[in-house]
Amino acid sequence: MKQLNVGDHRYTLPLFLPDATRGVVRGLSSQQVQEVGIQGVVVNTYHLLERPGTVVLKKLGSVGALMSWRGLIVSDSGGFQLFSLIHKHPKLGKITDEGVVLYSSEKQRRKTLFTPEDSIKTQFAIGADIMICLDDFSPVSGSAKRLQESVERTTAWAKRCKTEFEKQCRKKGLSKRNRPLLFAVIQGHDQPALRQQSAQELIELGFDGFGFGGWPLDSNGDFDYHIARVIADATPNDKPRFALGVGSPANIVKLRLMGYDLFDCVLPTRDARHQRLYVLNQPLNQVNFSGKRPWYQHLYIDRGRYVADPTPVDQYCDCPTCKNYSKAYLHHLFKIQDSLAFQLAITHNLWFYAQLMKKLQQM
Ligand SMILES: [Zn+2]
């Protein structure tokens, strides 16, 4: 069984990590998240840098202390928000070799710079167990030249991140045994040769794990599983592979079978808020993932047919929601827009993911 070792903690892989973007898995307390069987969360470096900021985080010790979370904490690099902003509003910033430059507004040219070193320093203030190098996100519509540039810049920034990471470890007296882990992100969009080049350069620099950024989509709008396979084949088996931002239960199973170990996604919580719940078609221990029959389906709790349905959301689920409440009650709570609706729906969807991980860990 593949394990993730962080300090004295051992985690059996694969793991699903819901997004606690601003230091909260929306709708649930940290204790509730732990009770549904979730062992780790992903927080967002850029959002936490804005609020509560590094001064507060350093005073409290970590975001884990702030949110009373005792499990694994992964921080992203903070780059994704900045890149999305610049791709949407090119006048608000630009990407240079030094880092990401942001302007205060389209007219005011007061600059702030977010560098690979800033990303690592902020992730130390957050107190993450797994940190992620700032990467240059390959644009989907990028020219061949821009894609090559993004791979080269990603390597250069990963090198600077590693140097800053080692500097911070020395400063804090952290040894190889008790330090956090540092992952690099492989870029190269839908080009197998570029993905392989990116992987090779990052492997040579030496990291604790590898994340895969900028998922290309195929003509059906689904993941490009061919590229996912290329990346899995290009990375070492003894290091965790992080499928960043993935995905639906079906996506996760497919990528797990290729050798991916860590997953994080907004889907289970976002779907729950939009009244979309996951329901098994048979008990999970009887599911054969290679079978032709879909092993789960979506249930839309807002449908009129559930208004007086006394049965639980999922007859095969033992989560606190399904054990105690009916479809009729959940339907009612959404209709009257009570926050308990979110809580019960998110509890069920996260439980579904946690149980799926348990099954995959045994395979
Ligand atoms: Zn349930």
In terms of domains, do 221 and 260 share one?
yes
Q: How far is the CA of 278 from the centre of ligand 1 (A)?
A: 9
Q: How far is the CA of 305 from the centre of ligand 1 (A)?
A: 19
Tokens of 72: 């694994």
Q: How far is the CA of 322 from the centre of ligand 1 (A)?
A: 4
Question: Each residue of 57-91: pLDDT tens digit?
Answer: 999 999 999 999 999 999 999 988 888 888 888 88
Q: Does 356 reside within a domain?
A: yes
Range of the domain at 128: 3-76+120-265
> With 0-12 CB in 10 A as exposed, 13-18 as middle and 19+ as buried, what is 352?
buried
CA-to-CA separations, 265 to 57, 170, 218, 292, in angstroms, rounded? 24, 33, 19, 25
- Supply the pTM of this predicted model: 0.96
Q: Does 105 reside within a domain?
A: no
Q: Does 173 reside within a domain?
A: yes
Q: How far is the CA of 350 from the centre of ligand 1 (A)?
A: 9
Per the CB < 8 A criterion, the answer to whether 136 and 184 are in contact is: no
Q: Is the pLDDT of residue 290 over 80?
A: yes
Q: Does 166 reside within a domain?
A: yes
**Which of 265, 280, 296 is the C-terminal boundary of a domain?**
265
In terms of domains, do 213 and 339 share one?
no
- Paired sense of beta strands 100-103 and 93-95, if any: antiparallel
In terms of domains, do 312 and 333 share one?
yes
Query: Residues 19, 76, 118, 261: which is the catalytic one?
Result: 76
Q: What does the alpha-carbon distance between residue 271 and residue 263 come to, in Å, rounded to a whole number? A: 16
Fill in the DSSP letter of residue 282: S
**Which of 265, 284, 301 is the C-terminal boundary of a domain?**
265
In terms of domains, do 56 and 168 share one?
yes
Predicted local distance difference test score (pLDDT) of residue 73:
98
CATH classification at residue 216:
3.20.20.105
Secondary structure class of 233 (helix, strand, coil): helix
Q: How confident is the model at residue 232 (pLDDT cuts 50, 70, 90)?
A: very high
Q: Does 107 reside within a domain?
A: no
Q: Does 244 reside within a domain?
A: yes
Query: Residues 118, 264, 271, 314: which is the catalytic one?
Result: 264
Structurally, how many domains does the chain consist of?
2
76 is catalytic: yes
Instruction: Count CB atoms within 10 A of the CB of residue 173.
Output: 8
264 is catalytic: yes
Instruction: Find the range with the poorest average confidence among 27-41, 96-110, 266-280.
Output: 96-110
Task: Provide the CA 5 distance to its chain's centre, in angstroms.
Answer: 18
